[in-house]
Amino acid sequence: MLTAFERAAMAKLLEGNYPELATLRHQAELAEVAERSQYWGGVSIALAVPDDCERATTLPQLTRFDDVIGVVSGMRNPVGFSLSVVDGMLDELEGSTFEEQWKEHPDEWRVEYPSGQVRDERYVRQVIRDGIADWPVRG
């Protein structure tokens, strides 16, 4: 089971008015944690989505959304989140710190986009097209 912090990060990673993201949001509702690997500086969570779930077939074979950060009380730096999609199915949620120990159940936190309150639509379009994008997207 995902923690509230992890669920919020995944929901933020899947925000947007794109059919591909709507398909992935539906998968997220049905996904279960297949395996959790926590280490000093982060967590890696393998996701299991039912085989009969609709796939986001228009996405590249390997797709990675990584434009969400978590601001955690008591940590000097924000934590980064990424969500991997393989063959149109949710695959893995990762959270990592920058030289600090990962807090599995932080007391106070929020998730946001590094660019501010609104997601950079150029980033989302580039990920949907190419499978990955650096943020901030230029041009």
Residue 19, pLDDT above cutoff 90: yes
CA 16, CA 12: separation in Å to the nearest integer?
A: 9
CA 78, CA 80: separation in Å to the nearest integer?
A: 7
pLDDT at res. 118: 87
Residue 41, pLDDT above cutoff 70: yes
| Cβ atoms of residues 47 and 84 within 8 Å | no
CA 139, CA 137: separation in Å to the nearest integer?
A: 7
**Average pLDDT estimate for 37-61:** 96
Q: Is 0.85 surpassed by the pTM of this model?
A: yes
pLDDT at res. 56: 97
Residue predicted with more confidence, 93 or 116: 93
Of all helices (H) and strands (E), which one includes residue 62? strand 62-72
Report the side by side order of strands in the sheet with 89-96: 32-39, 42-48, 89-96, 79-86, 62-72, 109-112
CA 118, CA 115: separation in Å to the nearest integer?
A: 7
pLDDT at res. 116: 80
* Tens of pLDDT, residues 125-135: 999 999 998 76
Domain range annotation of the chain: 4-130
* Tens of pLDDT, residues 59-114: 999 999 999 999 999 999 999 999 999 999 999 999 999 889 998 889 999 999 98
pLDDT at res. 38: 93
pLDDT at res. 62: 96
pLDDT at res. 135: 64
CA 121, CA 27: separation in Å to the nearest integer?
A: 22
State whether residue 102 is helix, strand or coil: coil
